[in-house]
Amino acid sequence: MEKFDKKEIDAKVREGMPFAHRWHNRFHIEMPFGLINDPNGLCYYNGEYHIFFQWNPLGTVHKNKCWGHTATRDFVNYAMPTLAMHPTDEHDKDGCYSGCGLSENGNLRVFYTCNAKDEQGVRTAAQRFGTYMIKEGAIRKDEIAVPHNPPGFTAHFRDPYVFYRNGQKYFVLGAQTEKERGCVLVYREKEGKWELLGELKTKTTDSEKKFGYMWECPALLKFGEYDVLMFCPQGIEAHDYKYQNEYQSGYFAGHASFDSMELYHGRFQELDCGFDFYAPQVFAHEGRHILLGWMGMPDHDADYPTAEKGWLFSLTMPRVLTLRQGHIFSKPAKELKALRMEESAVDIDAQETQTVSASLGEGAEILLDIAMGKAHNIELSLNYGLEKTVIRYERSEQLLTIDRTGMKLGGRGVRRVKLFADKLLSLHIFVDRTAIEMFMQHGEEAASFFVFPEKNILPEMSLSADAPMESVSGRIWELDAINFR
């Protein structure tokens, strides 16, 4: 499998930095070539946040899955990305699939899914540990913990995530029953071996209430007294304001028992209501849960015109999650404030107004508090010459819409989410070259999406309403780029 030449690939990444093409983002992690997807192995180790990710360095298709790596202390300065692991043997010859990272006995260990197919296309999935060798910048592959899927479950058996409870070590992983019902399985370590405890039962375990045919990328997190099972179900039908993407990313919040193997939980809630968000992972470090997601969507490559330019997809910015009354709020990590260029900050302070506009430059952060006053319909438009993406709030419907029908290239359509804003609408928006992330009502909802302006035109923001708004206040900062060194 010499097709993966680490030296050559790493050199090519260095040559590709800083990015030249105007569709490349400035403060989102992405690669100069190839296809990236899920963040993997997120782990705080030795003073740094280590970020691995799925990466095909050889093309812009979902094949040749390797792990890329970068690291940061501050989410502004990053290590030059490198190839950390690639398929090498009969276990992972068809992909080093997703997995987690853990700091253990002074080592940065990873735990990933080895994907292999035989001549007939029959899949096997083994779960294997590895150790990241800092000097070499590469993962040494260690023992296989689980060689194959257990009886009753198919080979859609992947994406392990290690966690601890009461001094014991466990992992969950995404699985599918033979009846094609998505679920998670739990393993526990016992005398150096991994025993299968079984399926973590939820309200969807009953086959009548089946929730998708496969669950990918699970994680079991602790928020105070609460257990949160994050996962990505596949095969959920869209509703008007829910599940609008092909595949979802969300969570159940509740309490897990590993004696009864049950999770008592509330309803499934989505983590992001934009077009381009999937397979998130979380760093749990010093009391913070910092999420990174994949900005992209499986099986929709045609929505992303950068493929013709040699690369596909980004990771989201780091977001800090908090659980309040059973709901996860997301906010951009405070470290990102370091990207603000003070000298370019614009104060917005308008009373009794129907319009506000501003130029956004190469990358901007917009913070807006809108006292809606007499206005019922509010529109924030990002204009790229004649093209535009519109964020609309309809007060009577309590509905927020993200509308990309005014763009020419890439995925279009609308995404809608129920959002309760009584008198005050608060929006926090990061507009990168093509990647946009928005936080609404102080993080109650988040949305990630791409726009690909056809012409080389920097965006102008215009805010308008159908009647005078009582006041609009806030700030716009031009943002600096993150660095790769």
| DSSP annotation string for 222-252 | EETTEEEEEEEEESPPP-SSS--SSB--EEE
- Residues composing the chain: 485
Site for ligand FRU in 141-200 (CB under 6 A): 158-159
How would you label 222-258 residue by residue, b for 16+ Cβ within 10 Å and e otherwise?
Answer: ebeeebbbbbbbbbbeeeebbbbbebbbbbbbbebeb
- Residue 97 binds ligand FRU (CB under 6 A): yes
Identify whether the C-beta of residue 209 lies closer than 8 Å to the C-beta of residue 252: no
Site string for ligand FRU, 256-285 (x = CB under 6 A): ----------------------xx------
Instruction: Give least dist CB 98 to ligand FRU, A.
Output: 3
Residue of 38, 159, 272, 303 marked active site: 38
Among 60, 64, 82, 98, binds ligand FRU (CB under 6 A): 98
Q: Which tokens hold the place of 184?
A: 């998670």
Q: How far is the CB of 308 from ligand FRU (least distance, A)?
A: 22
Question: Among residues 148 and 222, whose Cβ is nearest to ligand FRU?
Answer: 148
Number of residues that bind ligand FRU (CB under 6 A): 14
| 4-to-1, 73, 129, 366 alpha-carbon distances in Å | 7, 29, 21, 42
Q: Which is nearer to ligand FRU, 217 or 356 (CB)?
A: 217
Has 38 been annotated as catalytic?
yes
- Beta bridge mates, 358: 461
Of the pair 199, 478, the CB lying nearest ligand FRU is at 199
Give 132 or 231: the residue with its C-beta nearer to ligand FRU.
231
CA gap 111, 40 in Å, rounded:
9
Q: Which residue, 125 or 402, is less far from ligand FRU as judged by CB?
A: 125
Residue 298 contacts ligand FRU per CB under 6 A: yes
Binding of ligand FRU by 65 (CB under 6 A) = yes
476 has which bridge partners?
346, 366
Residue 235 as a binder of ligand FRU (CB under 6 A): the answer is no
The Cα–Cα gap between 171 and 190 comes to 12
Positions marked active-site? 38
Q: Which residues bind ligand FRU (CB under 6 A)?
A: 37-38, 54, 65, 97-98, 113, 158-159, 216-217, 278-279, 298
